[in-house]
Chain A
């Protein structure tokens, strides 16, 4: 999920380059650029508003999915603007789309969160916004006082001119500052040593609204004349509507309209996922009752015989053949030939669903010449594109507002539910709130792809791994993508520059693409979740098979600090020494190496995810087939922790996501139908699964922040299963763990 930038738009980098010479104007959001004046003379650019009482309202351009950007990005602005954090409140900005001669541009910068880029992609931009606005306030003060700018400086919320002994609060300067010409370039940014807000523990800016029930999520949208809609979706993957009888549905009190929604052509790029029948009513419940009363005949689907068991058998068979070699460093075959010991293992990673707690929903009001979308989305530009495709309206006539989002996890990078809402509104002419049920959500997801991995290691007489292979048979995440040749499908599942490339000399990766009707998509830390489990489990097995200590084997491979070339998302380099440091730290914290009683064990794992580094150590007991996690030590190295409170929260949440998924989650298909439907058969972990002894550590590294939203997941599952092995001798090679310990 690296590329969240709108295809027709520009990446953040190009955005700034395009504005070179007028960069200061651009980072502030130049009114002329938007073709419209700013709403208020209290605004300096689009992002910074200062009231007469000195309170500051900072615009947040990114979707808040729980990762903390709505606090972290304004922290960056406030730091450079030089205001007290207690004076700051935050305003959510809509999608800033602007028509240009050759397409569209983004007046608030590129908007969208995925791939843990929400902070990193805006780190410079938001600091420049704050710094430039501060510069304008200084200029306004200098002009008013008749002194050179150099004689003015600031303390929080105030411009000071020490030569005159004068102070002017920002609130009195903002109106003048807003009219001054913008500088060609952003003023020099603050030194990191002078940060007061960034890097300090600030609380979630919206927490009070959340705990009092005031926060509005997508699901909470209420508008005048709004109607409520649900859609009955095909129960079999890719089935289409043959006919439907809506007589009973229309008898349900409150039901206003019933009509067919056409799904995509088979194997074509999708706008929405499934064919169905929409029911529109005066309340959500009436619409749901109407849907229950429908009788729908479905056409036979080409996926009617899809079956998970067959899919896994196909993967097993595929691995017996030779696949597409996607990486072949050194001479793998020769190294295996000369190896003292060879270890081969297979690991199975299942399909899983995102299951954000707020089911998909969207408000859409399509009128003749315009459209309004209010959506819980990770991709406001994708939402705009979807609405444009449905309505045929020019995108500049589509307003996209984003609400706080009740969990993202990658699901809301896809905007099928936005397209559906627009379809229903267009058909009826009414403002519509489309609501998915939990069953809709579990059964109509873009799942994390399942795959069967086969690992090979050749070990020499010194216990060194000299040859390494990962062979993967899976259904690629690149699902129904336009312009996606088959030979590139592996790229979403095998990240060739990950560990151990450039550490072990002879490395081969092979891919076998399998097909199944289950849609696939980006699931938090996409292929890192699978690959970290596989690699970190296999290292444990190699250590065990060659009589080595698991930690020492890893540390020998990871070694000291050094920058290895890394071409994938999160590059341009990978420093395995940062993993050494984290792994050593968590091992020490948990007391790795101590003698434990029977049935008790410690496991460790570490992984670099999209440029951020994390490690886990877990201690478990297994008694009578029952697993209990006793203690967790989690550590992250995200370079500079801009918003440490959220870094810690993401580390905890990612760890728990990893554990929850490993413990019990799997999506399966029989006869083309997803077998799971709700939380009784897709059992997300509850608090009892997570021990009170849970330590989260942030290990600072440098002054460059990495993302943090995904880094806490990948090493959690293998640390857990390695601990289970240490406790019991039972090696978990197939996820989820489920009842495997009971037999």
Chain B
């Protein structure tokens, strides 16, 4: 039995403890904002926060998050619905095309901006490794800079 908190809700999972966190979130909890893209930690579509740090949930066995706090894209906005600055910046620059990778991109950016509150383009190049197959990178870059301007608080809401 693995117990953890997800978007402020306490949950437990009693299936195979090697199950990747991704599939627990998607199939057991039916929270579908976190996406499956590669299954080997390459693309980042499955990025969630574990105790505040961006992690690739497709290669994270659920047993390793026992007692920890998970935030997914569904839990990023404030309880009153006010979007996180990174989400706001994504809307301002209208980043998504197909949109499939964007939850992961946003979760990765929130963590990145905690470490690099005013990032240079080089910081972005060196740290942002999520794949966007549609090629929204031009707007992702602008949105990251904009989110930094909006002064992302750097903590999960």
Contact = CB atoms under 8 A, between A and B. Distances in A.
B26 A213 contact: no
B20 interface: yes
Contacts of A404: 98-99
Contacts of A687: 124-125, 128-130, 132, 137, 140-141
Contacts of B133: 355-357, 407, 409, 684
Given A285-B23, A358-B37, A220 B16 contact: no
A212 B135 contact: no
Contacts of A210: 96, 99, 102-103
Describe A's contact surface by its main secondary structure. Answer: loop
A678 B40 contact: yes
Contacts of B30: 222
Nearest to B45: A357
Interface stretch (A237-245, A539-547, A690-698): A690-698
A652 B27 contact: no
Contacts of B150: none
Given A213-B74, A692-B141, A207 B98 contact: no
Interface string B85-98: 00100110011111
Given A283-B15, A438-B37, A357 B97 contact: no
Interface string B1-22: 0000000000000011001100
Contact of A652 (B90, B125, B135): B135
A656 B141 CA distance: 14
B37 to A, nearest CB: 5
Contact of A212 (B23, B87, B101): B87
Contacts of A355: 133
A523 to B, nearest CB: 13
- The size class of the interface chain B forms with chain A is 35 or more
B84 to A, nearest CB: 9
Interface in B87-124: 87, 90-91, 94-103, 106, 121, 124
A213 B98 contact: no
Contacts of B76: 212-213
B136 interface: yes
A358 B45 CA distance: 9
A284 interface: yes
Contacts of A66: 96-99, 134
B135 A407 contact: no
Given A211-B87, A438-B39, A687-B141, A358 B34 contact: no
A692 to B, nearest CB: 5
Contact of A253 (B16, B42, B97): B16
Contacts of A707: none
A647 interface: no
Contacts of A694: 138
Contacts of B137: 652, 656, 685-687, 690
B42 A652 contact: no
A355 B37 CA distance: 10
Interface string A646-668: 00011011111100100000000
A686 to B, nearest CB: 6
A686 B23 CA distance: 25
A407 B38 contact: no
B136 A652 contact: yes
A219 interface: yes
A67 interface: yes
Contact of B97 (A67, A437, A690): A67
A289 interface: yes
Nearest to B121: A692
B141 A407 contact: no
A464 to B, nearest CB: 38
Contacts of A685: 135, 137
A228 interface: yes
Interface centre among B19, B20, B76, B94, by most A CB within 10 Å? B94
Nearest to B126: A688
Nearest to B37: A357
A217 interface: yes
A409 B135 CA distance: 12
B53 interface: no
A645 B94 contact: yes
Contact of A289 (B16, B90, B125, B129): B16
B36 A203 contact: no
Interface string B22-51: 010011101111111111101101000000
Nearest to B75: A213
Interface string A666-690: 0000000000001110001111101
Contacts of A213: 31-34, 72-74, 76, 103
A696 B138 contact: yes
Contacts of B138: 652, 656, 690, 694, 696
Nearest to A222: B30
Contact of B16 (A285, A439, A678): A285
A412 B26 CA distance: 23
B39 A654 contact: no
Contact of A206 (B87, B90, B99): B99
Nearest to B103: A213
Contacts of B31: 213
A285 B98 contact: no
Contacts of B101: 357
B90 A655 contact: no
A406 interface: yes
Interface centre among B31, B95, B137, by most A CB within 10 Å? B137
B77 interface: yes
B148 to A, nearest CB: 14
Interface string B44-79: 010000000000000000000000000011101100
Contacts of A211: 73, 83, 87, 90-91, 95-96, 102-103, 106
B39 A207 contact: no
A657 B134 CA distance: 7
Given A222-B30, A359-B37, A690-B137, A212 B131 contact: no
A534 B70 CA distance: 50
Contact of B131 (A65, A357, A408, A439): A357
Contacts of B38: 438, 678-679
Contacts of A692: 121, 141
Nearest to A688: B125
Nearest to A655: B135
A614 interface: no
A216 interface: yes
A207 B134 contact: no
Contact of A438 (B20, B40, B124): B40
A253 B106 CA distance: 34
A215 interface: yes
A655 B100 CA distance: 19
Given A208-B83, A213-B103, A653-B135, 12 more contacts: A67-B97, A203-B91, A204-B96, A206-B99, A283-B15, A357-B134, A359-B36, A438-B38, A649-B139, A652-B139, A655-B135, A686-B130
18 contacts: A67-B97, A208-B83, A210-B96, A211-B90, A213-B34, A213-B73, A213-B74, A228-B27, A284-B23, A284-B36, A649-B136, A652-B135, A656-B137, A656-B138, A679-B43, A687-B130, A687-B132, A692-B141
